[in-house]
A and B are shown apart, each in its own frame.
Chain A
């Protein structure tokens, strides 16, 4: 079963606006990652936030993590048409040293020029 559920399933905005996507999960995690997938391509890692972190930034990306609510959000500021893609959260649980991840269903983001 899927660990993460993402909301909304689809998001349509204009260039320059901010985009916020949310991810909820069910069990305790070690870390949470966000990936981007352009149409017809593989996934590309964006950012990782550990369970003891609350917020992390990378360029125009801001990720928050609330372990008490078992949720995370990805904010893309000043969006561009090139940000059009599907965005997935992925969680890692357990004490293993390898990256066995569980992915959410994804949010489809469309940024109109």
Chain B
């Protein structure tokens, strides 16, 4: 199993550009989520999904969109990048009914 994979590893954007961060898992997990990690802030939940076709907002959803068309994939879209979105983004997944989450390696995003 590859576990949770994320692409790209690094990305530099200019203000106003859009992009999609990719996340995939091969463990057949129902639950998937996106976090951002900023220095001194821990991890904050952006969006999450409890299954294909079902998504919901987390703590800091503004400026981000998600969709879940398959169990395996959960992409995060930045609609119009802002410097405040400079961060490290982590995707995670777990089985429904368990709370142990498996994390991807992260995407380091810089918005100039």
Show the binding face of A for B, using Cβ within 8 Å: 1-2, 4, 30-31, 33, 35, 40-45, 48, 88, 92, 97-106
Whether A45 pairs with B105 at a CB distance below 8 angstroms is no
A-B contact pairs, 18 of them (CB 8 A): A30-B99, A31-B99, A41-B105, A42-B103, A42-B106, A43-B43, A43-B90, A43-B92, A44-B103, A88-B42, A92-B99, A97-B96, A98-B97, A99-B100, A100-B58, A101-B99, A102-B45, A103-B43
Whether B41 pairs with A105 at a CB distance below 8 angstroms is yes
Q: How far is the CA of A69 from the CA of B94 in the complex (A)?
A: 29
Q: How far is the CA of A31 from the CA of B30 in the complex (A)?
A: 20
B38 to chain A, nearest CB (A): 10
B102 within 8 A of A: yes
Which chain A positions have C-beta within 8 A of B53?
A: none
The 5 lowest CB-CB distance pairs between A and B, nearest first, are A42-B103, A99-B99, A103-B43, A105-B42, A98-B31
